């Protein structure tokens, strides 16, 4: 049985949850988790036992097989990034990214999915460090905020979850931009105040989770594995995610080819970013502001 090879870099809250979600897919795969921490021995055993249930998945730890990986999830963190200053704590994770890929010789069809914060900055540096083409590296970007946004839209507009669709673009974080033009609430008149309230609740959600003494892990793992499924199973998807901006889009936003969340189409195992010029000018202007913030934090560390 041919198994796809997957490497997860980092076995913290997010990395181990991604591993569990992958095991549940019942796709023939071998997962190698790279994490040198000694205190995760118990996690190793627990995940190994989970693979025994799935029967289609095997797992190993710290094998040096990054070059053999079809998919790589970057979920490592030196420490949990706090919400307000995730951009200011980027340097350690940037250095870590270049260290991970220092001897990387990728497969021709390798794909990398980036989760580590600040995800837009780390997606850019993963692209640089890995040497992969732009269309082989994707960050979860504002996918997580958008999932939360949908949840709060459905709640505030009092509709079923599948009847509310919102989109947040730009930076994963406090400067995420509401794309009012892409919001749809089936059976309801659009109310900008309610939409704005839902977006604010989505952006503030991490604070609420942290105050409860926890870190985001379940929803972001769903985002990362959802992207993997879209690519590997060749499912058709449209979602906001972080890609290196193509020339047309970075010219439009007056910035360098940094990573920023646009609407992304996944089709036939490939992903492609949308043309941002289809957005209203006021949304483009807000994205320009976010792009300048990200550019400063991304390129000053080049």
Dist. CA 123–CA 129, nearest whole Å: 10
Q: What helix, strand, coil percent values describe the chain, rounded to 5?
A: 45, 20, 35
Segment (H or E) for 15? helix 13-23
In a domain, 196, yes or no: no
Half-sphere exposure of 12 (CA within 13 A, CB side): 19
Residue range 128-141: mean pLDDT, rounded: 97
- Domain for residue 98, yes or no? yes
In a domain, 94, yes or no: yes
- Judged against a pLDDT cut of 80, whether residue 17 lies above it is answered with yes
Q: How many domains does the chain have?
A: 1
Question: Cβ distance 295 to 206 under 8 Å?
Answer: no
- Given a contact cutoff of 8 angstroms between Cβ atoms, the answer to whether 13 and 81 are in contact is no
Residue 185 covered by a domain: no
pLDDT in tens, 26-48: 899 999 999 988 777 788 889 99
pTM for the complete prediction?
0.95
The answer to whether residue 166 is domain-embedded is: no
Q: Is residue 61 part of a domain?
A: yes
**Within a domain: 156:** no
Q: Which residue in the list 30, 125, 172, 250 is annotated as catalytic?
A: 172
The closest of 132, 138, 4, 24 to 74, measured between CA atoms, is 138
User: Containing domain of residue 50, as a range?
Assistant: 4-139
Question: Residue 189 carries which DSSP code?
Answer: -
pLDDT in tens, 64-118: 889 999 999 999 987 655 544 556 668 889 999 999 999 999 999 999 999 999 9
Known catalytic residue at 184: no
Helices (H), 73-160: 90-100, 119-130, 143-157
Confirm whether 93 is domain-assigned: yes
| Residue 267, pLDDT above cutoff 70 | yes
Q: Return the pLDDT at 83.
A: 46
Res. 249: pLDDT tops 90: yes
Domain with residue 81: its CATH number is: 3.40.50.720
pLDDT-based confidence at residue 174 (cuts at 50, 70, 90):
confident
């Amino acid at each position: 049985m041919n198994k796809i090879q997957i490497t997860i870099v980092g076995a913290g809250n997010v990395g181990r949850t991604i591993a569990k979600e992958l095991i549940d897919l019942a796709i023939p795969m071998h997962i190698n988790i790279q994490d040198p921490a000694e205190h995760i021995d118990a996690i190793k055993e627990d995940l190994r036992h989970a693979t025994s249930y799935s029967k289609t998945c095997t797992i190993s730890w710290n094998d040096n097989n990054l070059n053999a990986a079809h998919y790589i999830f970057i979920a490592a963190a030196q420490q949990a990034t706090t919400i307000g200053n995730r951009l200011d704590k980027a340097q350690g994770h940037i250095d870590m990214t270049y260290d991970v890929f220092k001897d990387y010789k990728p497969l021709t069809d390798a794909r990398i999915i980036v989760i580590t914060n600040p995800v837009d900055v780390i997606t850019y540096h993963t692209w640089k460090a890995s040497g992969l083409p732009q269309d082989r590296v994707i960050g979860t970007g504002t996918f997580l905020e958008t999932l939360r946004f949908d949840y709060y839209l459905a709640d505030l507009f009092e509709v079923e979850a599948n009847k509310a669709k919102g989109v947040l673009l730009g930076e994963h974080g406090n400067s995420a931009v509401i794309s009012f033009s892409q919001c749809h609430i089936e059976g309801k008149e659009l109310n900008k105040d309610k939409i704005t309230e839902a977006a604010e609740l989505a952006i503030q959600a991490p604070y609420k989770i942290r105050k409860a003494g926890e870190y985001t892990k379940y929803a972001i793992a769903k985002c990362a594995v959802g992207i993997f499924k879209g690519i590997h199973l060749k499912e058709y998807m449209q979602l906001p995610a972080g890609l290196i901006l193509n020339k047309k889009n970075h010219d439009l936003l007056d910035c360098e080819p940094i990573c920023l969340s646009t609407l992304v189409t996944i089709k036939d195992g490939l992903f492609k970013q949308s043309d941002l010029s289809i957005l209203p000018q006021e949304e483009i202007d807000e994205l320009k502001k976010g792009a300048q913030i990200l550019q400063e934090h991304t390129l000053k560390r080049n």
